[in-house]
């Protein structure tokens, strides 16, 4: 019996999400010892890494949309939302307006936007 495949993440994992059991599984982590970068990877259910992107900022858990894209929050103040397709194409980024004293708490992905606390 062979052992299951494993993907080694570059740094501490902060979250994962999948659109369905067939995957892909989206994982966010730090970029190794670089604590100012977020790594987003897609992994198939067998453990094979499909693609990898690096974004500036602290990692947060990914959010998966109904069509199967993934949204991540990143940036120096965690105010940039970036949507990536299942095949790894960066589709768009949105910067949330905020006051200097405001910090992102929780994020919910809605059909027509976000709910941010």
Asked if residue 43 is part of any domain, the answer here is yes
Total structural domains within the chain: 1
Give the pTM. Answer: 0.84
Asked if residue 104 is part of any domain, the answer here is yes
**pLDDT at residue 6 in the model:** 66
Asked if residue 3 is part of any domain, the answer here is no
Asked if residue 26 is part of any domain, the answer here is yes
d(CA 43, CA 72): 16
Asked if residue 31 is part of any domain, the answer here is yes
**pLDDT at residue 42 in the model:** 95
**pLDDT at residue 4 in the model:** 54
Residue 115 has pLDDT above 70, yes or no: yes
**What does the pLDDT look like over 7-30, one tens digit per residue?**
777 778 889 999 999 999 999 998
Asked if residue 35 is part of any domain, the answer here is yes
DSSP state at residue 11: S
Asked if residue 1 is part of any domain, the answer here is no
Q: Which domain holds residue 19?
A: 13-116
């Amino acid at each position: 019996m062979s052992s299951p495949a494993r993907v080694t993440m570059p740094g501490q994992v902060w979250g994962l999400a999948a659109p369905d059991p067939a995957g892909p599984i989206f994982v966010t982590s730090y970029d190794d010892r670089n604590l100012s970068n977020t790594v987003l990877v897609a992994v198939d259910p067998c453990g094979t890494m499909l693609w990898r992107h690096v974004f500036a900022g602290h990692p947060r858990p990914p959010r998966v949309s109904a069509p199967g894209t993934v949204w991540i929050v990143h940036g120096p103040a965690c105010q940039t939302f970036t949507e990536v397709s299942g095949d790894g194409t960066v589709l768009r980024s949105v910067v949330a307006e905020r006051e200097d004293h405001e910090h992102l708490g929780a994020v919910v992905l809605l059909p027509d936007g976000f709910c941010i606390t």
